[in-house]
Structure 1
Amino acid sequence: MAEEWIVRVQGKEYGPVDVETLREWRDEGRVLPSNQARRADADLWITAAEIRGLFEPAPMASDPAEIPPSRRSFAHILAETLRIYRKGFFQFFYLTVLVALPSLCAQLSGSAVGASPNINMDLRTLIAAVFTFGMLLLSLAAWPVFIAGIQILTAELAAGRKARIVGLFNQALKFWPRVALLCIFVYGAYFFWTLLPLGIILMFAASGPSLISIFLALLVLAFQVWIIGRLFVNFLFWQQFAVLAGSDAASALRQSKKLARSGRDLPWFQRPLWRGIFLFAIWSAFVLALTIGPEWSAIRHYFHELTTSQDPQALLQSLTTNYKPQAFNLPSFLLGLVQTLLRPLLGIAFVLLYFDSKADFSGGGGD
């Protein structure tokens, strides 16, 4: 007679069922390696990861997000990022499509409406505007699933396990409320502290040029750089702690800040913070290289206006007047598509950095 098992998921017990049924639950994302399980004829609870033939390759740690704690060099992190992306390309592609497809539909619809001369508010234009707005909302709603999916998939592939897309989506959906809440807080903080100082600087510029206004604008700009830097440090690992560590929103932010500031006994370039800065800088340079080409003419025009205009009010009016919605641009679209397809690379790299930093921190490398 086949062995039958009882599993405990979120405090509820299910079973007894055989291993084949457990495999089906595993593929659906209903059973994780860290869930408790016991044989139907025994009282000893173990983890589902210890059930022979359920999660391969075995054995595994009780935490599904854990991988062997070995320190990687920065070059190794980059190489491992590319290896994991190549190994799970189709799974990463499906996750990317989940967010990119609604955004693409919104972009195409918005470009079609914006490029039409003498736009009239007829029924067709209204429908297109509503469709664009709906697609943007759908893309935003899918973003937490994308974030959680990147974390889970990277952890599984890094540990040498396979991840099926259906089970991956089911697992990622469980983290949607927590990740969505953190997205609102984290991105909202960046948005607020980016726009508020810029608004103050524009107020100084509109009041007329003077030494005092220029000095105050520079002070506000310096404060903006400082506060954005602080936010970057505090939010460095919020995604990993929210998903892989299973922390609630407040704990994820608190642990992220603590881990980002750890490793002070290491050389500065090996600390989690600076490694995170290097990763983000590499990605930002790549994105800039993709976007600056198609936008070069507009950037050159704005730079010319900034360097030649003497009146701040006239400058603002000129920039506003000369702005025109751009029609669909194929080179920009293709470059944006490349950027979108490669976007998981940044998430993969930060997951590997999280594992590496956490191993150092647990091993005594923290504060």
Structure 2
Amino acid sequence: MTEDIRALLAEAAALYRDSPRAATVLRECLDRIGEPVQVGFTGADGTGKSTLAAALGEWPTRALRELTLVDDPSPAAHVDATVRLVRHLEPDELAGVRPVGGSAFARQSAVNVVLVLSRADEVSAGRIDALLTAKQLARRSWREDPLCTGFQGVIAVAGQLAYAGRALQDDEFGALTALASVPRETLERHLLSVDSFVAEPFPVQLPPDARRLLLTRFGLYGVRLATTLIRTGCENRIKLSADLVRRSGLGELRDTIAGCFVARADALKARTALLRLEALLQAEPRPHSDRLAARVERVAAAAHDVAELRLIADIRGGRTALAEPVAEEAVRLLGAQGGFPADRLGLEPESEDDEIYAAGLVAVQRWRHEAERPDAAPAERAAARVVVRSAEGVLALFD
């Protein structure tokens, strides 16, 4: 698809060679194809965009080094994908984050947004099981709420806790350990509010300023969780840091971004270029530009990566008729666990070509049967046809 986009941009550059504005747009599109995929973090004030972007940006993982995180991008930034933060999964708030308008291609290819319930620790009034409850709520909303369809995932994350866990310092661990030495019932009385936590008298020798700093970093929920974890076995800073990050939901968000955005970087960058080219053709029509617009439509219609991403989200969100274990195989063949042939076919990375081809042939035959089953619902057969094309794409690599 990338080469098709380059050809379209070259043709457009010849058509608009006398327009400095158009030339700038086309040059930006061409340059961006060779750059890392850009992921924007957006949301209303108070959702923790900067905190979450910082927590992910400091994660030492190869996958996230292959993208650029953009904190609160402007519309002019034209990011390739978006992590949209909300504080609540309520209808009024969800209605405001769904994409509206745009071209038919923009709506059909809207597979570049992950929704994040970013203050997950506030669910259930901040009880110790708030994160578990928030994750269950996010999964249920993705599967059952029509306002959550179209997102590549709905994930609960405690952004403040994630960042605090990632950046946990020795002195902070020492202060939390001192708090954990206090009997739970006694400490809980001081964790009812900010005022009670910084008030005197206090059961340990920890100055009010130090307690305020802990609240700034961890929040009341984070302090409560950290002291509980220390009491139950996190006896050093490294263990506590890892457990806080794990519980925060940051790992799930990282994996979703890696699977949906990093692994599909070329397709997402191509989508951005197509949308900008489409907008340019509409804003500055030229003689014969309709021919170029028709080519843009053909390339967009053939964007199988987009169809794969859309179907992966539908399967994982429980919005297809495919049942286990068929659905699990479909998601794998669609590339959710990696785009290489062996990944798609569930084989070992070092598998020989003839083994990969044989497995691919079996997958094509099996999914052609699924696509032609007379007893299957039309939507199920349509989903199977997308999987067939993915399996055929694996075989095509060996022709």
Which of the pair is proportionally richer in helix? Answer: 1
Report the TM range for the smaller structure's normalisation: under 0.3
Structure with more relative contact order (C-alpha pairs < 8 Å, separation 6 or more): 1
Structure 1 length-normalised TM: 0.25
User: What TM-score do you get using the length of structure 2 for normalisation?
Assistant: 0.24
